[in-house]
Amino acid sequence: MEKIAFFDTKQYDKIWFNKLNTNYDIKYIRYKLTPDTAAAARGCKAAVAFVNDTITAETIDELCAAGVKILAMRCSGYNNVDLKYAKDKLHVVRVPTYSPYAVAEHTMALLLTLNRKIHKAFIRTRDFNFSLSGLTGFDLYGKTAGVIGTGQIGRIFIDICKGFGMKVIAYDPYPVDGYGIDYVPLDKLFEESDIISLHCPLTEDTEYIVNETAIAKMKDGAVILNTSRGKLIDSDALLQALKDKKLGGACLDVYEDENAIFFEDYSSTVVNDDVLSLLLSLPNVIVTSHQAFLTDEALQKIAEVTLFNLDQFFKGESLKNAVVYQEQE
């Protein structure tokens, strides 16, 4: 059996990998993949990594020195991988899709929770406080949702919004035909949307797509949702807009400096991130810990596709889900 180094292991990761794995000796490693931890893959021909691992040129060199031939990302995103450096050194594969419904549904759950103050009501009633003061929300019906990115997740979120009777407009540089999506220029989306939801990948073009200039164009009281990648939003600009009451709220499942924080328990530690601390202190902000993907169906799919990717590699087959570096024009 080929030996696999599985980094940043959580208990929920093991469930489906242990159920479905028949071909590999998996070495589960608790800590994240970084230049300092890559040597733990020594003796393994494959490494399995996740979205917040640090896969720099140095990490790739360490993996190669350890004997690793393929890096299997158990996620769809790969912006944390230095693909240019990995070219001709290490095969990189990913899970292109696992459960777009999971992420889209979590996005709506965040919006409903923030809007109707469900989190606050839950805490109150556990203390037998049944006051309604401060719990007023607004009807989603008739509001305009602006969706940035109309891949699978974005399109499912659009369907959910339409189910609530919302008007939906969208922006995507690569429009999808046949779905009846009302595409508009990005500036118009910022200007007309009551709710703005981000469902695009992190690229050079989308980094800080929500910044001080973009926020200035938005409606007063607009709500921003981000269950995609943290660096789509300039966190400093977001915090200032919330403090200035320009924005009505924010729901974040991702954060631009989450790598050293998310997926771990720091409840007994002083976290040295003033922006995140201030965001968490605001009554109109909800932050979850990059959990939008976390459903049983998604975890099963992640295990299935990751093992399939490894099977293809070790059988010498063409890699269906390979991530290939492409030179920028």
Give catalytic residue positions. 229, 258, 290
Short-list 61, 39, 14, 17, CA closest to 310: 17
Distance, in Å, from the CA atom of 175 to the CA atom of 195, rounded to the nearest integer, reads: 20
Crossing angle for the helix pair 100-116 and 152-163, nearest 10 degrees?
Answer: 40
Q: Which amino acid is at 154?
A: G
Q: Please report, for residues 106, 172, 228, 311, the alpha-carbon distance to residue 253 in angstroms, rounded to integers and kept in the order given.
A: 9, 21, 8, 32
Given its phi and psi angles, is residue 88 left (phi above 0), alpha (psi -120 to 50 degrees) or beta? left
